[in-house]
Amino acid sequence: MAGSRKPLIAGNWKMYKTSGEGSVLVSDVVDAIRGTEDDVEVVVCPPFTALRSISTMIELDGLSIGLGAQDVFWEEEGAFTGAIAPRMLEEFSCRYCIVGHSERREFFGETDETVNRKVQALFRHDITPIVCCGESLSVHDAGNAESFVRDQVRGGIAGLTPEQAATLVIAYEPIWAIGTGRTPVPEAANDVARAIRATVGAMYGPPAATAARVLYGGSVKPENASMFFGEPDIDGALVGGAALVASSFADIVHAAR
């Protein structure tokens, strides 16, 4: 991690936890990460149905934890059954929204173009996108991870201002590392993180590249987190499975200090 960028640890709960279960998890997490506020930014991204209860907890109890959604639609409102608009996330003080997770690309037809429309829509509402990218095992094995990820990032973050680009969070999540227990060696993850940062720089200039945060995601656990956080271009983690267990998530937060 580089000194000027505040580490960010975000928990992607995926399709786990009801609203009630989510409230319990958040209060356990908050207890376990007490004292880390100044050093690490912590965000939870629960399912849509838990946003209201957790947002109320954050507001009433003054919790030092941020809230994010896992997806959004790009239109302001309209006849789009099942979709959620940025304004609806804004109402619950969502600071962040994950966009383009590989599971959304695989199961819900997300493309770099739809990712980009969502990213632009979020910025219109001052919600920071956490833009996901990452290669499949076959792309990885062919040695093409960096160029594949650069293309994904170029498409996903097109059409922003340099000021917007500077606030971006980009999560590098190799698909073969998600939920598998397999991870790249930290140096290899950092090489891709550096390539992502260079892409931001080529599009929006060096200040944006220096300010944007790049996270690593894919089987991050308390046992391996500090290895990734020791890398200069990795500014934190997007955590899946380990974010569902308060003590594991908290250990990862502590490792980022």
- Nearest residue (CB) to ligand 13P, 208 versus 220: 220
The one catalytic residue among 103, 110, 173, 231? 173
**7, 229 Cβ separation under 8 angstroms:** yes
Q: Which is nearer to ligand 13P, 98 or 195 (CB)?
A: 98
- What is the distance between the alpha carbons of residues 78 and 57, in angstroms, rounded to a whole number? 30
Q: Is 75 a catalytic residue?
A: no
Judge whether 101 counts as a catalytic residue.
yes
From residue 107, give the alpha-carbon distance in Å to each of 111, 184, 196: 11, 24, 25
Catalytic pick from 101, 103, 146, 254? 101
C-alpha–C-alpha distance, residues 22 and 27, integer Å:
9
d(CA 203, CA 72): 24
Binding region for ligand 13P (CB under 6 A) = 12, 101, 173, 178-179, 217-220, 238-242
Most distant CA pair in the chain, distance:
51
Which of 86/217 has CB closer to ligand 13P?
A: 217
- Length reported for the chain: 257
CB of 97 to ligand 13P, least distance (A): 13
Q: How far is the CB of 100 from ligand 13P (least distance, A)?
A: 11
- Per DSSP, 167 falls in state T
Question: Considering the complex, what minimum distance in angstroms separates the CB of residue 183 from ligand 13P?
Answer: 9
List the catalytic residues. 101, 173
